[in-house]
Amino acid sequence: MQWRNSSTNYGLVSITMHWLVAVAVVGLFALGYWMVGLTYYSSWYRTAPDIHKSIGLLLLALMILRVTWRFLSSGPAPLASHGRLTRLATKAGHGVLYLGLFAVMISGYLISTADGRSISVFGWFEVPALITSIPDQEDIAGLIHEYLAWGLVIFSGLHALAALKHHFIDRDPTLKRMFGRADA
């Protein structure tokens, strides 16, 4: 398998980043959903949010790399069987996913830094609090983060269903491309 994208397949770099993002989004959503129910006396009360924040910031770095990679190695050409509407829906859907990911991560950052403290990423490095002056920053960012997270996970589910539809109903190589096997 090639590193870079080709005219028919995604390369190893794009495929790896795609699946890492997918696993991180599902994992972060599950962790976030679980941790909001923790009580003060739970041994995970402080640990779970620290893990959530660290993975979220690493995901932000990965998404910045992913966007950069999209400019350096454009994706495969659209399939001839996909009409104009399908291509437009694909572009719009990916745009919503990318914007949603960045928005949910920025709102998470604003929650975590509202009190002026930096965020430790697994103890490896600190991300400073740059914005702390928004009135009710933690509460507003918290609501935005929650709604965006739900929207993102639902939209990601629709994205997965669309890939399965292409594979099982349309019988086109859309899903195989994301495994690097469209021309196999």
Amino acid at 4: R
pTM of the model: 0.93
Over residues 50-102, the pLDDT tens digits come to 999 999 999 999 999 999 999 999 889 888 888 999 999 999 999 999 999 99
- Give the model's pLDDT for residue 91: 94
DSSP secondary structure of 55-107: HHHHHHHHHHHHHHHHHHSPPPPPPTTS-HHHHHHHHHHHHHHHHHHHHHHHH
Alpha-carbon separation of residue 35 from 147, 174, 178 (angstroms): 16, 36, 32
- Give the model's pLDDT for residue 78: 87
- Give the model's pLDDT for residue 100: 98
Over residues 102-117, the pLDDT tens digits come to 999 999 999 999 999 9
- Give the model's pLDDT for residue 184: 46
The Cα 164–Cα 175 span in angstroms is 7
Mean pLDDT over residues 123-151, rounded?
A: 97
- Using alpha carbons only, give the angle 21, 153, 97 rounded to the nearest 5 degrees: 60
Alpha-carbon separation of residue 73 from 12, 68, 76, 92, 174 (angstroms): 11, 9, 9, 20, 18
Residue pair 131/113 in contact (Cβ under 8 Å)? The answer is yes
Residue 179 or 142, more confident: 142
Please check whether the domain covering 12-177 is classified as CATH 1.20.950.20.
yes
Over residues 145-178, the pLDDT tens digits come to 999 999 999 999 999 999 999 999 999 999 999 8
The full set of domain ranges for the chain reads: 12-177
Helix (H, G, I), strand (E, B) or coil at 128: coil
- Give the model's pLDDT for residue 113: 98
- Give the model's pLDDT for residue 52: 98
Helix (H, G, I), strand (E, B) or coil at 121: strand
If one counts every other C-beta atom within 10 angstroms of the C-beta of residue 171, the result is 9
- Give the model's pLDDT for residue 183: 62
Over residues 18-31, the pLDDT tens digits come to 999 999 999 999 99
The Cα 47–Cα 153 span in angstroms is 23
Backbone angles phi, psi at 125, to 5 degrees: -160, 165
- Give the model's pLDDT for residue 7: 87
